[in-house]
Amino acid sequence: MPSRDDDIETMPEGDLMALPAGNIPPGLLTMLWARHAAAIYQRHIEELNLELSGAYTRHVMLYPGQSLEEKRKREEEEARRRYEEAMRDVQRRSDRLLSDIEFREREIEMHR
């Protein structure tokens, strides 16, 4: 028959976390907390990955603005802003070139 220590060491995570504090031998308390912390950490990582992928509707791990949809929206807005700025630059250069051409044409007319 296995001892109580063996049962705790091989017990599944769910059962281990459901144990009342008084049923844990003092020598195994450190091992229990280490396994408990690892299980909680793994759950948090899985929940964060689900939220980041958009497969999880509850957003408890992400701050506002960290969801994929909001991130994609910000990137689209930034791309649109860069495009509009590039178009304004093209317009300014075109206007400047047209102005230079008109100036040169007036100079040529004056020298004739």
- The domain locations on the chain are 1-62, 64-112
Contact 70, 59 (CB under 8 A): no
Using a cut of 0.75, tell me whether the model's pTM lies above it: no
Burial class (CB in 10 A: 0-12, 13-18, 19+), 56: middle
Q: What is the pLDDT of residues 39-74, one digit of tens each?
A: 888 888 888 777 777 666 666 556 666 666 777 888
Q: Within 13 Å and on the Cβ side, how many CA atoms surround 12?
A: 2
Q: What is the pLDDT of residues 75-85, one digit of tens each?
A: 999 999 999 99
Tokens for 100? Answer: 């230079």
Whole-angstrom Cα distance, residue 101 to residue 6? Answer: 91
Q: What is the mean pLDDT of residues 12-40?
A: 75
